[in-house]
């Protein structure tokens, strides 16, 4: 409520203000009957965002409350929208009714924040919903909680690795200290992940002492101060917004980023590992190609494998062996996929059971999933274990026996349980004698009433005695006035009408009480029994978690095997040798879009002796960028344990992969193309090692020709001297001279064919140097008018022949009108033409350039007159 003027307010609004004051940073959904209402500032904020009508309600003397509301049974839709916008939403429920004022007791039972979602309906099936916490001192401590999957992890990083790690997991919400609110780091985070909600908290959230209940001192990670402090901030945050879950989550686990192939944020984005650069969707990404998973948990794990490829050669080979096994066993592969298709999201279902949040429908889904687990074990155990890869044996052992749990769920739950507890109809007969009696009474009320009526007719001898019901008196015996003399003394008169009188008896009252209260008693008893069942299921949480993890891995292996068969992939040889050989490699995504028969494969051979740096020249649209990207993707696929799109491949273990390709949307963020390019190159030069792979596409294009060429030369030279495997695509033909200076630098070119004055791109990458750029031909393909293309060819010819001054013929005006020779102009205009990079020009920029040049010439001519 705005201001500090004291006013008389109604009891309900007094209650509202008391509750709202405890949760000032949330939108309060205040339960009133069948609606959740929002008042005052909350209503004014939310109404336009959700398309709700803003109305008013009297809140007290001279106090009107702006308000809006949503139906309680449709509230999840609106809550999700608000959370997606970055709001926190507090759900205030009616708990019980007092008899004195008729005012419901209310309290907040749940708070939704972007990073603390557990309802399956609010979560994306194939994405994790992380809450992150970041703490910085000497190092950076980073922690993640995925509440719906039961994942609680933490690590420590160098400060320049923070963004890469955060972007891999794409948290929905990040907890930060308030002292970082105006920092450069926060600006960078907002720029790179604008949809992520940042929650700033007090410094005392970041203390490792809060984790003492987890006995972390018994682990070696107690030395990771910053990481533990970040993990504790998540726990403190949970205490405020989901306090009932604090004692139900498992201890945080430390993870070691150095165990995985390092991929920075630029590489993840530029190689389109999870999302494409076009519209940000998963379509046309590497994940889109590899995802043939049957379960949501399998899809989420596949993303993790893509973003965290392995460096341990033994672990990579163990994965390869399982993929190979399923590639070679089609029948087994298809049978397992068929069963997995029937299994729900066991990872999230088991977590909801462990957190004691699962609803009846979810428990039913858990039961159905458990039903199919024995089939998976049976199918695998039929195979000869002598031929089983070691990793597959481990997965088979990890799938636990849940026959007891399945029998329990099957005995307690009805065939098709409802979503909410309030609906009733959850527990089967035979579980509770009390419930069975109540259900029997509810279902056979008419029979019991008719039996009582029959007995009383016989006792009293009143032939037309009957039992009736109305809302005022409830059940009653009705007797016509002609038989009133036969009414026994235990009949208590309740109502007199013209022709009949109505009575009740102790037995009828007792039966009425049982019938009318049975509904509520059934609901309450079923609720209690369901909570008891959920407690029993929670005891299996660790076994369920282990099994869910094993099934997710099995799903990923089957997916990779299916993709390998469908797309004709091969198993790469993984080696410790510093070598990277790909025979007839293909781009995994482009070949799916174009069709394998249309895609032109290309080979690659890199080693530390005579091919450390490959410089690729040739025209734009000729396939340089594709060649760079496909080889980086093949390296990633190989180290995640996948087969690769090639005839054969031999891949030495890389520790890091870097890419410098394009400026993306950085221009929108206020950074120039060249600044972005140099920042990324600086990061690469600082962090690349002799075991890294670097791909650089057109380095130096964001500045003048000589500056750009000089920088590209120096960068390539530096990487070569560090023995970094580097693929560099360039339009600077001069860089090919490096191959003459260094034996480990090789030149490659993308090939073209000229036919009847036309250029045909062959998309083949071969040793050698491109002799022409064909930029004008690309402009022609892009739709530049023919007269502009012809004029450009004339200008290019003159520039290349270096005869501008001698001929005095080159002009920028049409030949039939007065011409102005370039040699008479001042040097700046000549330099503009010399520095013109036709290859890099779009049709619009080419026309703009000509227009500006013409304008400058005409102005000069006007001044000279």
pLDDT tens-digit profile of 396-444? 999 999 999 999 999 999 999 998 887 788 999 999 999 999 999 888 9
- What is the pLDDT at residue 814? 40
Q: Name the pLDDT band for 385 (thresholds 50, 70, 90).
A: low
Q: Does the structural domain 433-532 have CATH classification 1.10.1420.10?
A: yes
Confidence check: pLDDT of 632 > 70: yes
- What is the pLDDT at residue 611? 92
What count of residues does the chain have?
A: 865
Q: 48: annotated binding-site residue?
A: no
**Could you tell me if 657 and 632 are in contact, meaning their C-beta atoms sit under 8 angstroms apart?**
yes
**Could you tell me if 259 and 311 are in contact, meaning their C-beta atoms sit under 8 angstroms apart?**
yes
* CATH placement of domain 291-402+540-567: 1.10.1420.10
Confidence check: pLDDT of 13 > 80: yes
More confident residue, 295 or 596: 295
Mean pLDDT, rounded, for 477-481: 95
Confidence check: pLDDT of 840 > 80: no
Q: Name the pLDDT band for 224 (thresholds 50, 70, 90).
A: confident
Over residues 457-472, the pLDDT tens digits come to 999 999 999 999 988 8
Hey, which residues does 652 pair with through a beta bridge?
Answer: 575
Confidence check: pLDDT of 851 > 60: yes
Taking the C-alpha atoms of residue 497 and residue 478, their distance in angstroms, rounded to an integer, is 10
Taking the C-alpha atoms of residue 831 and residue 833, their distance in angstroms, rounded to an integer, is 5
Taking the C-alpha atoms of residue 231 and residue 132, their distance in angstroms, rounded to an integer, is 9
**Pair of tokens at residue 628:** 């760079």
- What is the pLDDT at residue 803? 42
- For the CA atoms of 282, 286, 290, 291, the dihedral, rounded to the nearest 10 degrees, stands at -10
Taking the C-alpha atoms of residue 617 and residue 38, their distance in angstroms, rounded to an integer, is 63
- What is the pLDDT at residue 778? 62
Confidence check: pLDDT of 702 > 70: no
Confidence check: pLDDT of 583 > 80: yes
What is the percent of the chain where pLDDT is above 90?
Answer: 63
- What is the pLDDT at residue 653? 98
- What is the pLDDT at residue 422? 76
Mean pLDDT, rounded, for 359-369: 95
- What is the pLDDT at residue 160? 87
Taking the C-alpha atoms of residue 512 and residue 449, their distance in angstroms, rounded to an integer, is 9
Mean pLDDT, rounded, for 267-292: 94
Best CATH choice for the domain 573-767 from the list 3.40.50.300, 3.30.230.70, 1.10.287.990, 3.40.50.150: 3.40.50.300
Confidence check: pLDDT of 363 > 70: yes
- What is the pLDDT at residue 597? 86
User: What's the fold here for domain 11-112?
Assistant: MutS, DNA mismatch repair protein, domain I (3.40.1170)
Confidence check: pLDDT of 394 > 70: yes
**Pair of tokens at residue 606:** 């890199």
Confidence check: pLDDT of 371 > 70: yes
- What is the pLDDT at residue 822? 36
- What is the pLDDT at residue 349? 94
Q: What is the pTM of this model?
A: 0.83
Q: Quick one: which of 755, 513, 765 has its CA closest to 624?
A: 765
Q: 623: annotated binding-site residue?
A: yes
- What is the pLDDT at residue 220? 62
Over residues 152-178, the pLDDT tens digits come to 999 999 988 999 999 999 999 999 999
Q: Name the pLDDT band for 810 (thresholds 50, 70, 90).
A: very low
Q: 625: annotated binding-site residue?
A: yes
Q: 74: annotated binding-site residue?
A: no
CA angle (88 as vertex; 83, 91 as ends), nearest 5: 100
More confident residue, 781 or 726: 726
- What is the pLDDT at residue 620? 78
**Pair of tokens at residue 182:** 């105006």
Q: Does the structural domain 125-259 have CATH classification 3.40.50.620?
A: no
Give kind and range of the element (H or E) at residue 18: helix 11-22
More confident residue, 207 or 856: 207
Mean pLDDT, rounded, for 711-727: 94
More confident residue, 521 or 421: 521
Mean pLDDT, rounded, for 280-304: 96
Q: 624: annotated binding-site residue?
A: yes
With left for phi above 0 and alpha for psi between -120 and 50, is residue 597 left, alpha or beta? alpha
Taking the C-alpha atoms of residue 358 and residue 352, their distance in angstroms, rounded to an integer, is 5
Which range has highest mean pLDDT (361-375, 376-390, 669-683, 816-830)?
Answer: 361-375
Which residue intervals of the chain bear CATH 3.40.50.300? 573-767
Confidence check: pLDDT of 375 > 50: yes
**Could you tell me if 504 and 477 are in contact, meaning their C-beta atoms sit under 8 angstroms apart?**
yes
CB-based contacts of 530: which residues, under 8 Å, 6+ apart? 360, 363, 421, 426, 427
Mean pLDDT, rounded, for 715-733: 93
Which residue intervals of the chain bear CATH 3.30.420.110? 125-259
Confidence check: pLDDT of 843 > 60: no
Hey, which residues does 154 pair with through a beta bridge?
Answer: 143, 254
What is the percent of the chain where pLDDT is above 70?
Answer: 87
Q: Name the pLDDT band for 837 (thresholds 50, 70, 90).
A: low
More confident residue, 651 or 785: 651
More confident residue, 785 or 712: 712
- What is the pLDDT at residue 247? 86
Q: Quick one: which of 362, 183, 155 has its CA closest to 257?
A: 155
Over residues 315-339, the pLDDT tens digits come to 999 999 999 999 999 999 999 999 9
Which range has highest mean pLDDT (657-671, 788-802, 823-837)?
Answer: 788-802
Mean pLDDT, rounded, for 771-792: 70
Which residue intervals of the chain bear CATH 1.10.1420.10? 291-402+540-567, 433-532
Angle between helices 403-412 and 360-382 (to 10 degrees): 150
């Amino acid at each position: 409520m705005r201001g500090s003027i004291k006013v008389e307010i109604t009891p309900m609004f007094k209650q509202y203000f008391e509750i709202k004051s405890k949760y000032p940073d949330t939108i309060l959904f205040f339960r009133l009957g069948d609606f959740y209402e929002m008042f005052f500032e909350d209503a004014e904020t939310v109404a336009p965002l959700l398309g709700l009508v803003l109305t008013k309600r009297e809140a007290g003397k001279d106090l009107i409350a702006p308000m809006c509301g949503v139906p309680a049974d449709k509230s999840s839709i609106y809550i999700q929208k608000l959370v997606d916008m970055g709001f926190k939403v507090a759900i205030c429920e009616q708990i019980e009714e007092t008899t004195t004022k008729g005012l419901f007791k209310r309290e907040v039972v749940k708070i939704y924040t972007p990073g603390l979602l557990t309802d399956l309906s609010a979560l994306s099936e194939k994405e994790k919903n992380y809450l992150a916490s970041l703490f910085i001192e000497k190092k950076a401590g980073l922690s993640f909680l995925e509440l719906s999957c039961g994942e609680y992890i933490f690590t420590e990083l160098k400060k320049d690795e923070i963004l890469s790690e955060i972007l891999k997991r794409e948290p929905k919400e990040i907890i930060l200290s308030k002292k970082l609110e105006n920092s450069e780091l926060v600006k960078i985070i907002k720029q790179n992940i604008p949809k992520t909600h940042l929650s700033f908290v007090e410094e005392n959230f970041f203390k490792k002492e809060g984790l003492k209940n987890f006995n972390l001192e018994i682990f070696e990670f107690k030395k990771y101060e910053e990481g533990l402090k970040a993990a504790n901030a998540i726990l403190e945050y949970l205490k405020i917004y989901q306090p009932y879950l604090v004692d139900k989550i498992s201890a945080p686990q430390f993870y070691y980023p150095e165990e995985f192939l390092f991929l920075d944020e630029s590489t993840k984005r530029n190689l389109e590992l999870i999302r494409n650069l076009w519209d940000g969707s998963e379509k046309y990404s590497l994940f889109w190609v590899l995802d043939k998973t049957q379960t949501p948990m399998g899809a989420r794990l596949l993303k993790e494998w893509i973003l965290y490829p392995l460096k341990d050669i033994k672990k990579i080979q163990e994965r390869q062996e399982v993929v190979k096994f399923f590639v070679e066993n089609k029948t087994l592969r298809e049978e397992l996929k068929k069963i997995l298709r029937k299994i729900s999201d066991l990872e999230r279902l088991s977590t909801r059971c462990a957190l004691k949040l699962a609803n009846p429908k979810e428990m039913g889904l858990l039961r159905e999933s458990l039903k199919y687990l024995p089939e998976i074990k049976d199918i695998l155990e039929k195979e000869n274990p002598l031929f089983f890869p070691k990793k597959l044996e481990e997965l088979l052992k990890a799938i636990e026996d849940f026959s007891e749990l399945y029998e329990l769920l099957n005995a307690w739950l009805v065939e098709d349980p409802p979503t909410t507890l309030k609906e009733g109809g959850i527990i089967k007969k035979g579980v509770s004698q009390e419930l069975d009696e109540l259900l029997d009474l509810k279902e056979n009320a008419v029979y019991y009433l008719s039996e009582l009526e029959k007995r009383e007719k016989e006792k009293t001898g009143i032939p037309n005695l009957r039992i009736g019901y109305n809302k005022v008196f409830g059940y009653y015996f009705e007797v016509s006035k002609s038989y009133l003399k036969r009414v026994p003394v235990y009949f208590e008169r309740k109502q007199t009408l013209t022709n009949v009188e109505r009575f009740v008896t102790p037995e009828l009252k007792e039966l009425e009480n049982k019938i009318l209260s049975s509904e509520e008693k059934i609901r309450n008893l079923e609720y209690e029994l369901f909570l008891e069942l959920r407690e029993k299921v929670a005891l299996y949480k660790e076994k369920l978690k282990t099994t869910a993890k094993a099934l997710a891995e099995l799903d990923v292996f089957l997916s990779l095997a299916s993709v390998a068969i469908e797309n004709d992939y091969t198993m790469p040889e993984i080696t410790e040798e510093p070598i990277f050989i790909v025979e007839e490699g293909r781009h995994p995504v482009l070949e799916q879009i174009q069709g394998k028969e249309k895609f032109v494969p290309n080979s690659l051979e890199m080693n530390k002796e005579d091919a450390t740096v490959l410089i690729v020249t040739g025209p734009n649209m000729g396939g340089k960028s594709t060649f760079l990207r496909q080889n980086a993707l093949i390296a990633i696929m190989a180290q995640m344990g996948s087969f690769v799109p090639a005839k054969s491949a031999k891949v030495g273990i890389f520790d890091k992969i870097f890419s410098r390709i394009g400026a993306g949307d950085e221009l929108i963020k206020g950074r120039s193309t060249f600044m972005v390019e140099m920042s990324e190159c600086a990061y690469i030069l600082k962090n690349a090692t002799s075991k890294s792979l670097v791909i650089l596409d057109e380095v130096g294009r964001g500045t003048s020709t000589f500056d750009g060429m000089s920088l590209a030369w120096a960068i390539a030279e530096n990487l070569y001297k560090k023995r970094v495997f580097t693929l560099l695509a360039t339009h600077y033909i001069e860089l090919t001279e490096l191959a003459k200076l260094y034996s480990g630098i090789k030149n490659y070119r993308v090939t073209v064919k000229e036919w009847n004055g036309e250029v045909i791109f062959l998309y083949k990458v071969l040793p050698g140097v491109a002799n022409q750029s064909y930029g004008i031909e690309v402009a022609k393909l892009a739709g530049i008018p023919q007269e502009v293309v012809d004029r450009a060819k004339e200008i290019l010819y003159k520039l290349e022949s270096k005869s501008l001054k001698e001929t005095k013929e080159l002009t920028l005006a049409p030949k039939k009108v007065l011409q102005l020779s370039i040699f008479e102009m001042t040097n700046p205009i000549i330099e503009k033409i010399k520095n013109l990079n036709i290859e890099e020009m779009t049709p619009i920029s080419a026309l703009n350039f000509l227009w500006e040049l013409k304008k400058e010439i005409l102005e000069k001519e006007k001044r000279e007159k």
